[in-house]
Copies of this chain bind each other. A is one copy, B any other.
Amino acid sequence: MVHDYRRSAVSLMMKLHREKRRKSLISAERLRRSGLALSFRLKMEENGKDKGPIVLALDRIPEGSGDLLSRSIAILEKVHPYVCALKLNRHLVLPLGLFSGIRRIVDKAHNLGLPVIMDCKINDVGYTNRVIAENYFNAGFDAVIANPFVGWEEGLQPVFETARRLDKGVILLVYMSHKAASEGYGQKVLDRETNKLKPQYVVFAEKALAWKADGAVVGATYPSKIREVHEILGAKVPIYSPGIGAQGGDLKAASEAGSKYFIIGRSITLADNPAEAAKAFREAAKRLM
């Protein structure tokens, strides 16, 4: 019941938003500036429909003329028509600084109509997690990625509270794309309620559902895990899959298993023609939808 109501409300808000946009009364950018921000989840739904399901991970930036900031923005400007969101990580945050270079990239992405996700994999104590989330949200980010391993009380609760207050998003890690993911995300853990063993990623998917996360990360390199997690989450929590291309993940397999968004980095940023590469991924993804 609660969920149906929420889905109807979301649907109505999206309809209203589309109508307003059609009448050119209000743009997403003006909406943002007015303080009446669309929630992260809604922005992703909208953009996914308009621009396809590819999320650009602006991590590895090739050498070239100009400084790191201008080279990063140049790629974003070329690629933006073919992606629905931007994801940043410490690759750029550490050298460029959050409130200097990074803020300029975030503003540029917003001006191009893209929400921006900070892949900070929050996993500290709650008091520090809140400070981390507040800093990224203050710099303009629309969502943060967090690790459910730290738990709720004095763990991720303050992150969700901060995000809800500011109309931002929280995406949880459920199964990562690297080889040793099996050590932690793939281990069997004892469920305290049922006293039965279950995979760690199932526990994390259940937390994503219970905590009303705005997304769940499952590596594209493990389609069978995507399928299992999708069976738990259904349409309630969309799956974001990194690891396509450079890390060996396959877009078709991930899509068929239930991923909604595909995070692609090096296969776009290091391509001879990043725009063409992004467009090709977008077209491939659209054919699967």
Chain A residues in the interface with B (C-beta under 8 A): 59, 89-91, 94-95, 97-100, 119, 121, 123-126, 128, 131-132, 135-136, 147-157, 176-184, 187-190, 197, 200, 247
Pick 11 A–B contacts, CB within 8 A, sort by A.
Answer: A91-B128, A94-B131, A94-B136, A97-B97, A100-B100, A125-B178, A149-B184, A150-B178, A152-B180, A189-B190, A190-B197
Cβ of A91: which chain B residues have Cβ within 8 Å of it? 128, 131
Docked Cα-Cα span, A151 to B219, in Å, equals 15
Q: Provided the pairs A90-B128, A189-B190, A190-B187 are in contact, do residues A95 and B152 lie with their beta carbons within 8 angstroms?
A: no
Interface of A is mostly: helix
Shortest Cβ distance from A135 into B: residue: B94
Cβ of A94: which chain B residues have Cβ within 8 Å of it? 98, 131-132, 135-136
Q: How far is the CB of A175 from chain B (nearest CB, A)?
A: 12
Q: How far is the CB of A56 from chain B (nearest CB, A)?
A: 16
Docked Cα-Cα span, A149 to B128, in Å, equals 19
Cβ of A99: which chain B residues have Cβ within 8 Å of it? 95, 97
